[in-house]
Amino acid sequence: MQTTVIRIREHGGPEVMQLETVALAAPGPGEVLLRQLAIGVNFIDTYHRSGLYPLPLPAGLGQEACGIVEAIGPGVSEFRPGDRVAYAGGATGAYATHRLMPAERLVLVPIGVPDEVAAATLLRGMTAQYLLKRTFPVKRGQTILFHAAAGGVGQIACQWARALGATVIGTAGSPDKLKLAARWCDHVINYSEADWVAEVRELTRGQGVPVVYDGVGAATFAGSLDCLAPRGMLVSFGNASGAVPAFNPALLAQKGSLFFTRPTLGHYIATRQELLDTANDYFHIYEHGNVRAEVKQRFALSQAAEAHRALEARHTTASTVLIPD
Ligand code: NDP
């Protein structure tokens, strides 16, 4: 059979993404053939495309999707044709109408989770899960700072942190985004204009916060350190504005014996059990209504370059999907 995919033959801007039709083999041992219903667009896809995180070329793009199992390979017992499944992280190549996936990286999607939500938010939901529960476990009564609060990870994580009993300060870069983020944050700050570090200090009566979750990177790194209380933790989990520059660890001592970590989802869902526990924890909180994860932008698969342009130009809020056309 054939599949239509987005491929890159060189790293670069959105224009390097090409739509191609290629042959697809029957599923091999442990594999499943998926007909994809919707595909998530994540910031990491832009890093893979640009070469910030280089891929061996030519390469497919995309980390997550929701689809229907069309056929199973030898040895697959957990899934059957007709199952609705999703995956996120680890196996680049999600920008496709059909694809083969290792069965061990799939999860069943509960009935209460729509296709687009599973496709566009499983990666972000699992990221929120490990950041808030396992990297720096948020406790009731704490005040936390979350950057890019109107974004995909931000929307889910800020609601989830509040469900855990935290007070959430969220940042965003424009008045419209601040208005949106105010739906799920206790306080919002425009980090493009205001002296946002001073605002965080004021909101915490000069104490600082025990944790900053920072997916923005270069632009916020220094300010994030200045928002922390002594022995607080900077969780640097992304580079939307560019990579964090190299720094002398003595800086952490000077700023209050701080902790710094640079986690990535793959290490928190490395085993089948971790993947299932993390995904199911996210699906559970979504289905119970404590986290509302929204798909705000939709593009045809053939328009994937437009989706990247919107994401990189800071024009998106919440999550974004591609629909196979
Ligand atoms: P978002 O929807 O949050 O989009 C990124 C947002 O970052 C933008 O909308 C923008 O919001 C903000 N931003 C600030 N400066 C810039 C800039 N110079 N260029 C572009 N955007 C900027 O994306 P995702 O939800 O997909 O991901 C959020 C972050 O989390 C990314 O850095 C991503 O790589 C990271 N991530 C890390 C994971 C991990 O395990 N380590 C897993 C998943 C995501 P505003 O306009 O309000 O400033």
Ligand 1 near 215 CB (within 6 A): yes
pLDDT the model gives residue 89: 86
C-alpha 147 – ligand 1 centre gap (Å): 9
Burial 178-188 (b: 16+ CB within 10 A, else e): bebbeebbbbb
Q: What is the mean pLDDT of residues 107-117?
A: 97
Mean model confidence pLDDT for the chain: 97
Examine residue 58 and say whether the peptide bond preceding it is cis (omega within 30 degrees of 0): yes
Ligand 1 near 187 CB (within 6 A): no
Site to substitute for ligand 1 among 42, 43, 45, 234, most atoms within 8 A of C-beta: 43
Ligand 1 near 152 CB (within 6 A): yes
pLDDT the model gives residue 238: 96
Ligand 1 near 293 CB (within 6 A): no
Alpha helix stretches (DSSP H) within the chain: 43-50, 115-130, 152-163, 175-181, 196-203, 221-226, 250-254, 272-287, 304-312
Whose structure tokens read 């083999």? Answer: 25
In the chain, beta strands by DSSP E: 2-8, 17-23, 31-41, 59-60, 64-72, 84-88, 98-102, 107-108, 143-146, 167-172, 187-190, 209-214, 228-236, 259-261, 295-300, 319-323
C-alpha 42 – ligand 1 centre gap (Å): 8
Q: How many other C-beta atoms can be found within 10 angstroms of the C-beta atom of residue 246?
A: 5
Ligand 1 near 89 CB (within 6 A): no
User: Domain 140-262 adopts which CATH fold?
Assistant: Rossmann fold (3.40.50)
Q: What is the mean pLDDT of residues 131-152?
A: 98
C-alpha 150 – ligand 1 centre gap (Å): 9
Q: pLDDT of 24-47, one tens digit each?
A: 999 999 999 999 999 999 999 999
Q: What is the mean pLDDT of residues 119-133?
A: 98
**β-bridge pairing 107-108 and 84-88:** antiparallel
What CATH number is given for 2-122+272-323 in this structure?
Answer: 3.90.180.10
pLDDT the model gives residue 281: 98
Q: pLDDT of 249-285, one tens digit each?
A: 999 999 999 999 999 999 999 999 999 999 999 999 9
Sequence letter at residue 126: M
pLDDT the model gives residue 193: 84
State how far the Cα of 108 lies from the Cα of 52, in Å rounded to an integer.
Answer: 32
Percent of the chain with pLDDT over 70: 100
Contact 125, 286 (CB under 8 A): yes
Q: pLDDT of 184-209, one tens digit each?
A: 999 999 999 879 999 999 999 999 99
**Domain segments of the chain as ranges:** 2-122+272-323, 140-262
